[in-house]
Structure formats: C-alpha cells, structure tokens
Amino acid sequence: MAVRASMACGAILLASSALAQTATHAGAHNPAVKNNDAAHVAAPAKGANSFSEDQARGRLTKAGYQSVSRLTKDKDGVWRGSATKAGKKVNVGLDYKGNVTAR
C-alpha cells in the first residue's frame, strides 16, 4: 500500500512539473521572426537573412514601395535596392527581421 501511495505521489509531482514548464515557455518568442507587417526602423539589423529576393520585394511592396528594383543582399545580410514611394525615388533595405529602412 505504501509503495502505491509513493508511486502515485511521484506521478503527480512529475505531471505538475511538466505543466509548470509548459506555462513558463508559453510567452517565449524568437525576435528574428516577425509578423507579416513590415516595420520601419532607422537602421537595419545585421544577421543571416533567409528571405528570398521575391519575398524581400513582396515585403517592400507591402510597406508601400513601388517599382522595387536592383535588390541585392549585402555582406550584413540586408536586402538593398531602390524603389519609389509617393513619387520619390529612395534607397530601401530589408533586414532579417523584416524591418524596412529607406534613405
């Protein structure tokens, strides 16, 4: 009887610790993964960029840029090119986080 009670207590403790771990990680996130909305930032973040050229063009277009051209990935992993917005030609960039820069 004591063995069964000990085993039952052990099972309850294991189950409660597993639930506690799940709850702790529920709010964790990867800052490199952004939602689908492009944010405008002052400077692009350096890092390995996994966006394809077509995806980068799509992000820039969604951010309101038109005629996106000459896209190339630089040594910092930032997609850079030129585009127009509100009739003005600008240089644009897209970092690995999906953030857009323009100058």
Single-letter residue type at 5: A
- The tens digit of pLDDT for each residue in 32-86 reads 555 566 677 888 999 999 999 999 999 999 999 999 999 999 999 999 999 999 9
The predicted pLDDT at position 34 comes to 52
Rounded Cα gap, residues 22 and 16, in angstroms: 10
Segment holding 59, helix H or strand E: helix 53-62
Q: Is the sign of the CA dihedral 90, 94, 98, 103 positive or negative?
A: negative
Residue of higher predicted confidence among 28 and 72: 72
Q: What does the pLDDT read at residue 7? A: 57
Other CB atoms within 10 Å distance of the CB of residue 1: 5
Say what the pLDDT of residue 41 is.
82
pLDDT greater at residue 16 or residue 47: 47
Q: What is the mean pLDDT of residues 2-11?
A: 58
3-class DSSP assignment, residue 82 = strand
Give the global pTM: 0.62
